Amino acid sequence: MDKRLLTILRCPVSHKGLSVLKKGELERVNAAIDAGELVNNEGVRLAEPLVEALVTDDGKRLYPIADGIPVLLEDESISMEQLA
């Protein structure tokens, strides 16, 4: 992910900054997906593991990156509170 792009991208819901999700957290998210425990904001259960994702600066919301393109849609976002 281009660092210059990250400096201008914002969460469309909270308007907080975004950063690339760290590898350890991505593995934790993917384990929850594999276990069938995660749904996106639209209520759709996630079936495919994430290759990359962006997380808000406050760590509350996750946005998938599909084919190198951030999917910054509220319905596609994932609440990180599900992992608590």
- Is pTM beyond 0.85 here? yes
Q: What is the pLDDT of residue 4?
A: 84
Q: Which residues of the chain have pLDDT under 50?
A: none
What span, in angstroms and rounded, lies between the C-alpha atoms of 77 and 73? Answer: 6
- H/E element, 5: helix 3-8
